[in-house]
Each structure stands twice: as C-alpha cells, then as structure tokens.
Amino acid sequence: MAKQSFYNFDLTHLEECLKQQELKPYVAKQLFNWVYKKHITDFKAMSNIGKVAQETLSNVFIFDNLQIVKVLTDENKETVKFLFKLKDNNFIETVIMKFDYGYSVCVSTQVGCNMGCKFCASGTHKKIRNLETSEIVLQFIEANNWLLKNTNEHLSNIVVMGIGEPLDNFDNVVSALKIITCQHGLEIGSRHITISTCGLCNKIIDFAKALPQINIAISLHASNDAIRNKLMPINKTYPLSQLIETCKQYLEISNRRLTFEYILLDGINDSDENALELVELLKGLLCYVNLIPYNETYLSNFKRSKRVRQFFNVLNKNKLQATIRLERGTKIAAACGQLRIQHNDKEKN
C-alpha cells in the first residue's frame, strides 16, 4: 500500500486510520502535537510514541512538501507571492499580505477553476483537479515557515480566496480547515478565517453546518441578474433571488455577518443606479460590502472603475455598510491565477 501524506488527515480521520493500524486513537492527538506544535516530522524523534508504533507509522505516512518555484515580493515587502509546483507538475499560487492586525495568507483550493467568471484570471484556465487536503494545509505551513525565517513573524489569518472555487472542493477544504483550526493542530481561530465562494447555494448551507464560526464572503459583483449573468456563469444556475434566500438561511445557522465582495468595473456595474439596486438587494441582511478596485490584467478587456469612492458614498448614504479594499500586490501579479498563467505561458514558449 502506498504511503499517504500525513497532512491529508484531520484529527477525526487520523483517529480512524490509527484504529485500522491497531493503534490507540489518543495517539492522533500526540502526533498532531508533534507535527503541528513542535514541527517534528520524524516519528523516531517522537519520544512518547512506542517503537512498534513508530515503525507502523513510518510505513503508513509520509511528510511531503510543496516545491517553491518562485517568490515575488512588492517594494514595501507587504505582499509576498509564491508559485508552488505540485507532485504532478501542476502549479498553484499562495499570497502573504501584511495588514495592521498582522499577516494573512491567501490559499488556493484547485488547479484552475471551472466557474468561468469573466473578470478573473483563474477562470481563464479550466479546472484540472481539486487540491488534496495536504496541498491546502501545506500552503499555510510553507508560507508560515517563509515568514518566520524572513521576518520572525507568524501568520494570524487565512483567506481561502486563491485559485479555484473552495466549495467545489468541499470535503478537502473542510478537512484542511479542521486541521488549521484544531486546538491540537495549527490552532488558527475560526473567526480569523474567511472562505470566498461565487455562490454555490447547495454547498453554502452544508459549510455553515460543518464550520459555523468561519466567515463566508460571497463574490457578488453585480446588483441584478442581467449583469451577473454576463459576468458570472454560476448566476444562471443560482440566480440572485436563490442566492439571497440561501444567505438568509446561512445567517440563521451561523449568526455570522456576511461579506459581499463587489469588484467595480468601469461602465459595467459601477453606476449610482447599480449602487441603489445593491442597497435594495441586501436590505435586511446582516452584512457589509467589500468594494474592490479591479486589478487589470492582459487576460481581459475590463477596466478599473473611476467611481469607487462615488459608489461607496451612495451605499454609505443609504446605510449599507461598505469598505474599500486596501490594494495589495498589483505590481507582482498578485491577482488570482496571474503568476501561474504567466509561468505556464513561458513554459510553452
């Protein structure tokens, strides 16, 4: 039997695996403590694990890693972007961003993406496969190790907003987040984690039930179905009326404030009328809107809106709470998918 990545197992699944190997379930917590707290990945160095168990574990698990192909940093060293090579020679991206509250990491969940959002670099390349649980967890570990080595700081926050649609890789994403939030694991507080979705209504409620304390951000980007249909193909499956109803159900389960992400595109979705439609659409929801200045790429013809502040003022005047996202990494291809696509294009040439 081929050895399996240790990082593929959340605590519950690890306990089940150990039972199959005739080891006591409590050993799972001991292993988590060694690996995620003490950063020990040699079973023989784990002093409270018996020699017979060490031998068994060595035959079952491996400790793999991600290969760093490229690291880009911006001039202020507030954004760091990694291009990682996977074991099957595919590539993914991970980004560290510095904020007032500390360092956050943006992780990917798929190689490519099938959602096809017109403004998104990730969506220009179809999904090749889902990332394994280990490949999601290792993005955090590798980024945190780099940060510790270069700044003597630790990651404190995670956004699951990189390449791919997280809820389209539901089981692996949930398992990875259980490892990341586990008190015996990486122990990042659930409220320090945000997962972004383009609106897979059939998965949003399941996620709220599985991990109710983790924040959800809905990629909205339009105030009506006509615009959203053109920008986001998912809207033809889950139109705004269904999405908003799902959001209401989510709020009943989690009682967590929702974030709605709204990229402002010049002449597309940035008029005062659009702002007023957005106010009406989100009326009564516990939420706020995160307005995002568009990061222009050579992959699309969309232009950055010149009306970001005006749009914000209309929302504010009509008592819809909003923020304007602080830009990070525009000079180092930090938009999702850009660095991977550039690398793949160079390889082809």
Check residue 328 and give its pLDDT.
Answer: 62
**Buried b / exposed e across 59-79, counting CB within 10 Å, b at 16+?**
ebbeebebeeeeebebeeeeb
Residues 57 and 145 in one domain: no
Does residue 93 carry a catalytic annotation?
Answer: yes
Residues 292 and 218 in one domain: yes
Check residue 345 and give its pLDDT.
Answer: 47
Determine the Cα–Cα distance for residues 170 and 156; give it in Å rounded to an integer.
23
Which range marks the domain in which residue 333 is found? 67-348
Does residue 336 carry a catalytic annotation?
Answer: yes
Residues 252 and 105 in one domain: yes
- Catalytic one among 17, 201, 287, 336? 336
Which residue, 19, 40, 62, sits at the end of a domain?
62
- 179 phi and psi, to 5 degrees? -65, -45
Which residue, 62, 80, 98, sits at the end of a domain?
62
CA torsion through residues 116, 121, 127, 132, sign: negative
- Catalytic one among 16, 78, 93, 273? 93
Determine the Cα–Cα distance for residues 171 and 2; give it in Å rounded to an integer.
22
Number of domains in the chain: 2
3-state secondary structure of 294: coil
Residues 129 and 52 in one domain: no
Give the pLDDT band of residue 336 (cuts 50, 70, 90). Answer: low
Give the pLDDT band of residue 123 (cuts 50, 70, 90). Answer: low
Question: Which amino acid does the sequence have at 224?
Answer: N
Give the pLDDT band of residue 342 (cuts 50, 70, 90). Answer: low
Instruction: Report how far apart, in Å, the C-alpha atoms of 106 and of each of 23, 61, 269, 323 are.
Output: 36, 27, 26, 19
User: What is the CATH number for 100?
Assistant: 3.20.20.70
